Amino acid sequence: MKQIEQIKEWGGYLNRYTHYANTCQCEMTFSVYLPPQAATQRVPALYWLSGLTCTDDNFRVKAGAQRYAADYGIALIIPDTSPRGDSVPDIPERYDQGKGAGFYVNATQAPWAENYQMDAYITRELPALVEEHLPLLPGIRSISGHSMGGHGALVCALRNPGMYRSVSAFAPICNPSLSPWGLACFSLYLGEERALWEQYDAVCLIKAGAQIPTEILVDQGTADEFLDAGQLLPENLKAACKLMELPLRLRMQEGYDHSYHFIGSFIGEHIAYHAQVLGLRR
């Protein structure tokens, strides 16, 4: 774990690191915002999973989350969205497959399986690494994300009971087994066995009985260009949660699109939600 950048913000530090990831068999880059409270004590962590085409840089530059993390004393852990490197398989002409589109699954199909183990990286290797080397409270985590990363946040929480204290999402791909983005990536990384797809589909996991200890918070813009395109399917998430009596707060935000303008408008409320569950006060 090598630190390659440090920027002071809101009394804390935005750091960037590289390390060799055994799960993904390549060098990975991630960012961490350590709030000022981390100078004297261990703090809980909020993991942020970004969407298609993003790296760790998008959220840390565009969302404005650090000021709220500093207020509450919560660290932000911001991984990349896929493995990287010259030896990592890719489809350069496709923005929604390959590099930048790891989809937070453990790939089973060649040539993707060797590197595209993003579920294991996010839920196992990265938490172990940062909790060993940074002033974080072991095991005290929450998770959030946007679009593909919103899918990842929901699935990571549903697949790993007790790992995260709370989960939220912005415009998540709720039912990827039925979404064009999900269909493309799942068939590429996981093959044609739909039962395996359902293990990485929030709607399917909820219908199968997966639980989360707290209410799920989801914000969705009504002017999101991918909403009418059938990519996100929040109505399917709402129906599944109602069926299984799983608490969901789905907020349809009038006039907002899919961009970081949308995320920046509500990220403070999401961090406040996670901070409340984690027992933090401003």
- Residues forming the active site: 147, 224, 258
Structure tokens belonging to residue 158: 């549903």
18-33 burial, b for 16+ CB within 10 Å, e for fewer?
ebebebbbbebbbbbb
CA pair distance 177, 197, nearest whole angstrom: 6
Which DSSP symbol is given to 123? I
Residues 260 and 258: their CA atoms lie apart, in Å, by 7
Which residue type sits at 192? E
Query: What's the DSSP call for residue 165?
Result: S
Question: Structure tokens of 182?
Answer: 């999900």
Distances (CA, A) of 47 to 20, 21, 146, 188, 256: 19, 17, 12, 26, 24
Using CA atoms, how far residue 14 sits from 21, 30, 93, in Å, is 21, 11, 33
Alpha-carbon distance 174 to 93, whole Å?
A: 25
Return the C-alpha torsion angle 151, 153, 159, 163, nearest 10.
Answer: 180
* Type of residue found at 123: T
Q: How far apart are CA 34 and CA 40, in angstroms?
A: 11
Other C-beta atoms lying within 10 Å of the C-beta of residue 77? 24
DSSP state, residue 188 = H
The token duo for 168 is: 């939220």
